[in-house]
Structure formats: C-alpha cells, structure tokens
Amino acid sequence: MFRARYPLGRLRPAPYNPRVIDARACAALRQSIRRIGVVKPIIARDTGTVIAGHQRLRQLTALGRALGPVYVAQGITDTDEARFNQLHNVTEDAPGLWARVPPDPRMGVFVDVPAWRIKGAFRGPDAVTRATIGALICRYGPWGCAVATRDGRVIDGINYALTCAVMGLPCRTIRVPDYAARYLHRAYGAFSFGPLAGDTWRQSACQRPRLRTGGQRACRSRLYERHVLPQLGPGERLIDFGAGQADYVRRLQGCGHPVVWVEFFPLDGTRLDRPTAHAWCRDALAAWAARGPFDVVVCDSVLNSVDSVAAERDVMVTLNALCRVGGRVHVSGRTRERLHAMERTTKQANPKQYLHAGAVDADGFVALYRGDLEAAPTAWTFQKFHAASEARGLIETFIGPVQRFTRSTTSWQATAVKTVDLDPATVEAALRREFDLPWPDGDRVGLAEAAVRAWRAAATPARP
C-alpha cells in the first residue's frame, strides 16, 4: 500500500540498519529534501518498522515534517526485509543503463505511467538487480518508483521502471527539475556490516561440494587444480585449513600422500557434525606437534567466508604458524570484480542471493540474511571480496612474497613462500581464537589450548 502523505510518527527504525552516515552527509540530505522533496518512498513493514529509508526518515523528522511518502509492505519476510534495505541504497551507474517515460509538466507529484509507455535498455546491464526487483514486486506489490525529469528522462529508479515495463505493470513516477540529478546521484551514507551480529558457524552455508560429479560438470577448485597439485612434490606434508567437505584432501589421502586437514564446521547433510570436526582437528594437531610445521598449507575459499576483518587476520596468522619457513602457502578468495561482473551482466539471474558492487562496505564485505530478525537477529552470513592489490598486500604482510597470482572475474588464487616471522604472542592469541570458534547452542570448538601446545611443540628445533 502506497500513501504519499503517511504519518511519519508511526514509523520506527530497524535496529540492524547497516547504513552509516556522517554529519556532512546528513546536512547534504536535508538540503536535498528542502530543494526537491522526498522522491523515493520510505519502505516499511505493516508493524511500522522501517525497511529502507532510515536516513530520509531521520532528516524529515529533523526538519519537523510530519507526513511523507511511504510504501507499507504486507507480510514481508525477514530475508526480504534485509534485501530491500540493500537494494534501495544501491546507485545505478552501469554503463548503457537507461529508461524514458513520457514528458509531463507536473512536478513533485506521484503518477502511474503505463508499462507500454516506458522505453529503455531492456537487455542492458544489471539484470541481477532487475530479477531481484521483479521477485519483490511479485511478493509485495509495486513498492518502488522512478524519478524522471520534465522531458521524461529517468534519473533514478531506472531498473525499477524497466522491470515494471517487462512485467506489464504501471510504474509510479515523480517528475523533478533537471538539477535534481546532482542530489540523487550522491551517496548519502555507506554500508557498514561490522556492527551486525553474526554466528560464525552459519558461514558453513557457503561451503561447496567438490569433485562430486564426473567430467566437465565436476565442481573443481581453481586453487587446487592450478596451484596446489601442479607444484606438490612426493612426500611433501600438506595441511588444508578450512577443508570444507574435504573432497580434495580425501583424494590425496587415497593416493598415499601425507595430508591432514582442519574444518570447524563439517556438515552431515544440513547438520553440523561436531565429532567429525574434533576428529579432523585432533589428527591435524597431532601431526603438527609430532613432525613440525608443514611443507604446504592450503586455504581454499576461506578468506571469502570470514565474517570480520579480525577473523581474516586470525586466519592469516594461523596459516603462517602452520607453515615451515620456505614452505608454500596457497590461498584463494573472491574478487571485487565478481560484484561488478554481476552488475554488468545482461543475463537473467537467480535473485535469492542479491550481490551488488554498490552493497559492499569499506572492508569488502557483503551481508546476506538467513533467518528471522526477531527470533534470530544474528542470522547473517558474510562474504568478503578482495581487490587484487588488497589480496596481495594481505599475503605479503602475513606470509611472504607472492610467487604466483591468478584471477578470473569471480575468484583469485595465490601461492606465496613463507618468510614472515610473527610475534609468538600474536600467534598464540590467534590460535586460541581460531580453535575455539563458537558452535550453535552456546557450544564451542574447545581446542584452543591444544592448538597452542601443538604450535609450541612444532617450534621445538630438535625433531626425529
């Protein structure tokens, strides 16, 4: 339900809102509202909780406005609530993206434009966003709007207008002066997912099974296929830290290779298999303590599943501790280019996981919601995306010089030689955190001291 003059006193902000805004941006947003009004409706639940438009509501209140444009979404799910928030705050700047509606002299008034009168780049970029918009319209009705100039050029809400046209739906549109573009194209605030609470064990949802099917359809690891296996010498001791479902290490073990692995969140179907996690970790720690640091350390697709900058640092310190001086560390992650590639794509996509370059925070994180915001407010999962220079810098800081670096539009892979010597207190603190990560129901991995003892034993010079 849309109302152009909704009582703003009935609304309250969502406690998890991942947008932050400084004083300067607040002042700019107030100036925008004074000059052109509120041209994008606030979106709220039928309970009054704001889904998108927190900063607009805040500035309208500061200006003493009692009424404003609001769309109330009935029966919205928690996952879609989080998706609305991200989608509503993404700017549209993909090259080749455009839309037009008929000229109209009426300014500052919401009117419905028939679908057949909307023109634009229907096969243009950002198809992922349009797929997400379409899914949300199907569930909750015409929640968005387009902002156009007097002559009909759409300057905001382009993807929304194109989606309405394709679906045969009228598009709610408001006309503004030409100069309004400079207000609408500003970024009022930024995403910051650090304050969001997340359960680390939920990151197991990001695990991918490997080598489960034959031929070209096998889900293969670029890191293993291009970096690890071609360089792996006979008898080299290997540990896979964050082995997921352990498909590659099981294959190596079957070939008689000396390999162990660590995975804190192995799955038995959809259930976290804690006994298996403990068994794998204890085998790895025993091998580490008995025979010293490993020749080869593999960390495949772990850095893209950390949930904070601190967790990323702990992973890198742990990789350093596991590897002997002069040994190889193989690491992989996701590229920032992946987000931009999704933004540029003209192909239809599954909107279940909405990822967009504009929805990434300053640390490279995108948050996806899996749960109930009331019953499970910590049900966020995170994905970390690295620029190539950032990935190289991270590896060189914690491991040593990068020997080889490869990347595609979706992922990057690196091989480095360990030369960096870290402070023992730093290593032990990271090991205690990594080997005592939380499990569901208040349980924990509980191997912190065992990991520190293994590291100390491995550091002893004399070894049989």
Q: How confident is the model at residue 189 (pLDDT cuts 50, 70, 90)?
A: low
pLDDT at residue number 362: 74
Contacts (Cβ under 8 Å, ≥6 apart) of 374: 78
Q: If you search the block for the tokens 């990057």, which residue do you land on?
A: 412
Mean pLDDT computed over 357-369: 67
Is the pLDDT confidence value at 64 over 90? yes
Q: What tokens does 206 get?
A: 């990001």
Task: Give me the pLDDT at residue 358, please.
Answer: 47
Give the least confident one: 79-93, 144-158, 410-424: 79-93
- The pLDDT of 430-434, averaged and rounded, is 96
Six token digits for residue 238: 């290997």
A 10 A CB-CB count for 2 gives 17
The percent of residues above 70 in pLDDT, for the chain, comes to 80
**Which CATH number describes the domain made up of 200-458?**
3.40.50.150
pLDDT tens string 321-340: 999 999 999 999 988 775 65
With a cut of 70, say whether residue 343 has pLDDT above it: no
Q: What is the mean pLDDT of the chain?
A: 84
The Cβ of residue 27 has, within 10 Å, a number of other Cβ atoms equal to: 12
Whether residue 299 has pLDDT greater than 70: yes
Domain ranges of the chain: 2-191, 200-458
Q: Residue range 281-308: average pLDDT?
A: 93
To the nearest whole percent, how much of the chain has pLDDT over 90? 51
Element (H, E) at 20: strand 19-20
pLDDT of residue 323: 97
Lowest mean pLDDT of 15-24, 145-154, 247-256, 282-291, name the range. 15-24
For the full predicted model, state whether its pTM sits above 0.75. Answer: no
Q: Rounded distance, CA 257 to CA 308, Å?
A: 34
- Residue 123 tokens read as 């096969």
Query: Which pLDDT tens digit goes with each residue over 226-278?
Result: 999 999 999 999 999 998 888 899 899 988 899 999 999 887 777 888 999 99
Give the count of beta carbons closer than 10 Å to the beta carbon of residue 423.
Answer: 9
Looking at per-residue pLDDT, the higher value among 31 and 415 belongs to: 415
Beta bridge partners of 241: 262
